[in-house]
Chain A
């Protein structure tokens, strides 16, 4: 479809860069790559007890970037996402090739790659849509409500410019759940309604901020027994057990004291002075020896059989931290999601906000359908510049409208994420 004159290793329109879109070549975040096999997203897939690993990257930011990049490619060929010139993967390349933002919709002259594919010359709106349906959605649009919606938008544009109408059809097709999942969506045409709170909250504000240290933090060197111990010299035992490589010298530990423990003097890692200071101001507390073992076990080899999960695996134990549910009594929910459900049911105006990797922890019970929002660490972008279709995002909401009860799960998952991404954005 494309003939590349000069191809960079990253295609800038799509900025295959995990910081922008959730995935990138050679940028897998851990040995588990981008998707955890057991990831169960909030929403219909999670509440059906199923997993959907790829849903891990369906954050609001990623969805909007993906859609915007698709629209940009259609309109301008390969340029920067939204023409903001902020994509780090593209900036170096830009220096070797004189790039500028196109001024008009449909101007591909600034793109280093030439679009050489063209469908058969036609002036029939049905042929254009059928051609795209065959190429992009394997015929799934045939006879669907979304096809009728696309046709109704594209048809009036045909008399003006067939090329522009074709670009409009391309952008609409790549916005559909038919394009983003391989099953047949069943939906009605009403946009999904997601509303924020309308009333000012009555009770004062409170917040919980969770910081997850992924990988297994060396807690032995975060909090160290130091002195004044009742039963034995715990610091000496610590030094013997950890050896010279990992034992922290007493002088490098920040002092804290306690009561009702075997030792009254402990030390905090010198690189965490804020934690030691807060503890000394009675503003912080340590929970040691806590975890999710469901029954007393002494034989290491029996852990998996007896408890039903692997206590040494990162993915399992991160899930345990996020869900606090080792017996899997409330599948698909996280500890914070359940807490927010309860608070919400008591009339408090709650909000679950994911910065990164927190979807599992923030998912509530599907009965209450409390959304999980994405906190963007990037500057909010302006979507769909120099549009082919004015108010395209309103059409995208209709294309991803309310699902029927028998909607396919993956279509429902995609469409509900699109709706909440647009809601967060607005």
Chain B
């Protein structure tokens, strides 16, 4: 029994051999999500919610937004290709969010500080 998950993961219908290669850590999280989505009929589930998170957006010093966005882009690109090939793209919503926005102006370390995106609604 204890080995069951291991055996399931190695079954051919659950393989993700065509999943795009990536060295980005976030991509391995999305790959795991794609694997779970592929096992939906085995789990007998028809409404899945997944939460993935990525650290490193608190850019008080250098502006590393480009690198961070590139990682997000690469991870999303691979994931979207996979779920399109699984035929699940039209059944999937991807939501992206964050703590808050950042200050408009630059701080003395060439970074930006915390700001609020807290509009009353």
Partner-B contacts on A (CB < 8 A): 29-30, 196-222, 241-243, 245-246, 269, 271-275, 288-297, 311-312, 314, 317-318, 321, 336, 339-340, 343-344, 348-358, 361-362, 375-377, 379-384, 393, 424-426
Contact check, A205 vs B98: say whether CB atoms are below 8 A apart: no
Contact check, B47 vs A348: say whether CB atoms are below 8 A apart: yes
Contact check, A336 vs B49: say whether CB atoms are below 8 A apart: yes
Query: Most chain-B Cβ atoms within 10 A of its Cβ — which of A211, A218, A297?
Result: A211
Q: Tell me if B72 is interfacial: C-beta within 8 Å of chain A.
A: yes
With both chains docked as a complex, state the minimum distance between the C-beta of A309 and any C-beta of chain B, in angstroms: 10
Contact check, B91 vs A211: say whether CB atoms are below 8 A apart: no
Task: For the complex, give the distance between the alpha carbons of A114 and B104 in Å.
Answer: 59
Q: C-beta contact mask, B1-39 vs A, less than 8 Å → 1, else 0?
A: 111111001000000000000000000111111001100
> Which of chain B's residues have a CB closer than 8 A to the CB of A269?
65-66, 69
> Which of chain B's residues have a CB closer than 8 A to the CB of A357?
51, 53
Within 8 A of A (CB), among B53-104: 53-59, 63, 65-66, 68-70, 72-73, 76-77, 79-80, 88, 91-102, 104
Contact check, B32 vs A375: say whether CB atoms are below 8 A apart: yes
Contact check, B98 vs A197: say whether CB atoms are below 8 A apart: no
Contact check, B88 vs A207: say whether CB atoms are below 8 A apart: yes
Partner-A contacts on B (CB < 8 A): 1-6, 9, 28-33, 36-37, 40-41, 43-59, 63, 65-66, 68-70, 72-73, 76-77, 79-80, 88, 91-102, 104-106, 110, 112, 114-121
> Which of chain A's residues have a CB closer than 8 A to the CB of B95?
208-211
Contact of A218 among B1, B2, B47, B112 (CB under 8 A): B112
Check A312/B114 contact, CB under 8 A, given A206-B47, A215-B59. Answer: yes
> Which of chain B's residues have a CB closer than 8 A to the CB of A355?
29, 32-33, 50-53
Query: Most chain-A Cβ atoms within 10 A of its Cβ — which of B36, B45, B49, B106?
Result: B49
Contact check, B99 vs A209: say whether CB atoms are below 8 A apart: no
Contact check, B119 vs A293: say whether CB atoms are below 8 A apart: yes
Task: For the complex, give the distance between the alpha carbons of A300 and B102 in Å.
Answer: 16
> Which of chain B's residues have a CB closer than 8 A to the CB of A30?
55, 58
Contact check, B44 vs A208: say whether CB atoms are below 8 A apart: no
Could you list 9 A-B pairs, sorted by A, with CB under 8 Å?
A197-B43, A204-B91, A205-B46, A210-B96, A220-B104, A246-B63, A271-B73, A353-B50, A375-B29
Contact check, A382 vs B63: say whether CB atoms are below 8 A apart: no
> Which of chain B's residues have a CB closer than 8 A to the CB of A358?
50-53
Contact of B99 among A203, A222, A272, A321 (CB under 8 A): A321
Contact of B46 among A210, A241, A348 (CB under 8 A): A348
With both chains docked as a complex, state the minimum distance between the C-beta of B39 and any C-beta of chain A, in angstroms: 10
> Which of chain A's residues have a CB closer than 8 A to the CB of B66?
269, 271
> Which of chain A's residues have a CB closer than 8 A to the CB of B2?
382-384, 393, 425-426
> Which of chain A's residues have a CB closer than 8 A to the CB of B47?
205-207, 340, 343-344, 348-351
With both chains docked as a complex, state the minimum distance between the C-beta of B66 and any C-beta of chain A, in angstroms: 5
Query: Most chain-B Cβ atoms within 10 A of its Cβ — which of A205, A217, A292, A377?
Result: A217
Contact of A203 among B5, B46, B88, B101 (CB under 8 A): B46
> Which of chain B's residues have a CB closer than 8 A to the CB of A29?
55
Task: For the complex, give the distance between the alpha carbons of A218 and B114 in Å.
Answer: 9
With both chains docked as a complex, state the minimum distance between the C-beta of B22 and any C-beta of chain A, in angstroms: 13
Contact of B44 among A199, A312, A318, A353 (CB under 8 A): A199
Task: For the complex, give the distance between the alpha carbons of A245 and B4 in Å.
Answer: 54
With both chains docked as a complex, state the minimum distance between the C-beta of A265 and any C-beta of chain B, in angstroms: 20
Task: For the complex, give the distance between the alpha carbons of A426 and B6 in Å.
Answer: 8
Contact of A207 among B48, B72, B102, B117 (CB under 8 A): B48
Check A380/B57 contact, CB under 8 A, given A241-B105, A271-B69. Answer: no
> Which of chain B's residues have a CB closer than 8 A to the CB of A246?
63, 106, 112
